[in-house]
Structure 1
């Protein structure tokens, strides 16, 4: 167990995703933090939808003592006052990255759930609190942080693979479909990009100047260390190329949450982000201490046996 734990905290940035990408930073834009959590708990992976003048922010909620993420919604009025907060989705497996969007006359959620060994698309039955499994998306690999976008008459899905631990951070895959429910066709060049600094999706794609711009995580120094905009310069069913932009990092003004930034999710006139700090785990420290004592005990017994 690591001695330090990642503690994330989301915020609402009062700027569009396009403005943030153009500036290359969230520094200087007003922001409002989501509520804090207790010790060794956090909220992360914010995605949002506006409806009837309210902003619905969906987040992962996580407690290190439970170790299974679930999904909550926080509701803000037009003046960004928190007016409601409720749990909305839990499964026997870990859930995170609750990407919510509207398409084909419905409201959908595509959460990260690779520990279930499948990718499940949920439909809102009674928005925002009741969701039902609607479709299982079949792909070439179990997907991590699957991120859809509709562009030029076709659905595109970006994801990394859960096959091996390093692939979750480094191997970007693409699939395409005519309809959201599929069938989905994996790109023949998969993985289309292998790079620990610009592969794992990290937010809501935007179409800027006719090209898809996908927020991706830079995990080269730490998990979720920064977000980079990945612009698709060629994206067809047969070919792929992309250019990566500069890293968007947590600014010093957000201290102590300056050790990572791993979500950039457009929500109309605002953008949702999350930033992290690390917290010393006394439980992890106690485990390490017990291990060291046991190692010392084994060494003493070995020496005693050798002396006979």
Structure 2
């Protein structure tokens, strides 16, 4: 029965590192590369990875989630697994956190974190110790999987909502902190195969590529990459470019590909089935309903 499978099956996500340019990874396929798989914790999800470099040190920010703890939070580690409290401020807010998109603008480090239950897109800036909220960019929607790309001096914001996760919306502003306006071509996609973001916009040689979660068959089954052929304040067009398929030992799905320079990180999953998940998932739903959260790590 479908409801039994829903409660017994569980996604188990882990993060992989490839020390190559993301576009090369997309073109050549994951099978081409020696992927270094991390296993930072024993939790159910280590997913939505975003890599960044700060003071010559490399970090991975990602969603950590386990049914026994309640809502997902943002974890940050170096490649050796040492933890950093860069996202402590946002993690203190009750609710689910994921997709910690990180980018650099004018030598400053910023992050947009998925906080859909707050009905807003907030911009966080690294103050030398932690990411702190500096502005709400959009409000009034349950925004998910948001990223920003600066092209020809214009900031383009790509997002969807948990109500309509596969309807990709596009906004733009003349400054990072400016007022974001709906693009006249928005929504730019409305399809389970390529309507939901799966990472930041990839660019090389003035060509831009949108990473999409392909959920046509199963959640996070693979990635589709769309080549953006036209992008301005008035026009937008994209066309299919490449599929990115998961590989062993996590061959049941992939739903994020992000990068920093010539380092690429992905997440991939195995689907595990066990009857103990019935209790764990029911307990999780109760925790979320009553706003209960158990910290992932003790101080």
TM-score (norm 2): 0.85
Q: What's 1:123 paired with?
A: 125
Partners of 1:258 and 1:228 in 2: CA distance: 16
**Does structure 1 residue 49 correspond to structure 2 residue 13?**
no
Shift of 1:214: 1.3
Compared CA separation, residues 286 and 48, structure 1 to 2 (3 A):
closer
State the secondary structure of the residue aligned to 2:160. strand
* Residue 88 of structure 1: how far off its partner (Å): 3.3
CA distance in 2, matches of 1:108, 1:212: 21
Q: Secondary structure at the match of 1:22?
A: helix
SS at match of 2:110: strand
Residues 171 and 66 of structure 1: CA distance in aligned 2, closer, same or farther (over 3 Å) = same
Secondary structure, aligned partner of 1:220:
coil
Contact 1:6 1:279 in 2 (8 A): yes
Match of residue 96, structure 1, among 71, 78, 98? 98
Structure 1 counterpart of 2:181: 185
The answer as to 2:243 corresponding to 1:240 is: no
* Moved >3 Å (runs of 4+): 139-142, 283-288
Q: Does 1:151 align with 2:147?
A: no
> Compared with structure 1, are the counterparts of its residues 131 and 287 closer, same or farther at alpha carbon in structure 2 (3 Å cutoff)?
closer
Q: CA deviation at 1:97?
A: 0.6
Structure 2 CA distance for aligned equivalents of residues 287 and 103 of structure 1: 42
Indicate yes or no: 2:248 matched with 1:258.
Answer: no
TM score, norm. by length of structure 1: 0.83
Query: Which residue of structure 2 lines up, in the alignment, with residue 282 of structure 1?
Result: 275
Partner SS for 2:76: strand
Aligned to 2:200: 204
Q: How big is each residue's C-alpha offset from its partner over 1:75-133, in whole Å with a ceiling of 9 and x where there is no partner?
A: 13xxxxx1622343212111111111111342111011111111111111224xx1211
Q: Mapping of 1:158-177 within 5 angstroms?
A: 158-162=158-162, 164=163, 167-168=164-165, 170-177=166-173
CA contact (8 A) 1:50 1:268 kept: no
Identify which of structures 1 and 2 has the higher relative contact order when contacts are C-alpha pairs closer than 8 Å and 6+ apart: 2
* Pick aligned residue for 1:10 from 12, 15, 24: 15
For these two proteins, the number of residue pairs brought into alignment is: 272
Q: Which has the larger radius of gyration?
A: 1
Q: How does 1:17-96 map to 2 (within 5 A)?
A: 17-23=22-28, 25-38=29-42, 41-76=44-79, 82=80, 84-89=82-87, 90=91, 91-96=93-98
Structure 1 residue 213: deviation in Å? 0.8
CA–CA distance in structure 1, aligned partners of residues 124 and 280 of structure 2: 39
CA distance in 2, matches of 1:21, 1:259: 18
2:119 and 2:139 in contact (8 A); partners too: no
Q: Does the 8 Å CA contact 1:140/1:186 hold for their aligned counterparts?
A: no
* Paired residues of 1:16 and 1:269 also in contact (CA < 8 A): yes
Secondary structure of the corresponding residue to residue 115 of structure 1? helix
Whole-Å separation in 2 of the counterparts to 1:232 and 1:245: 9
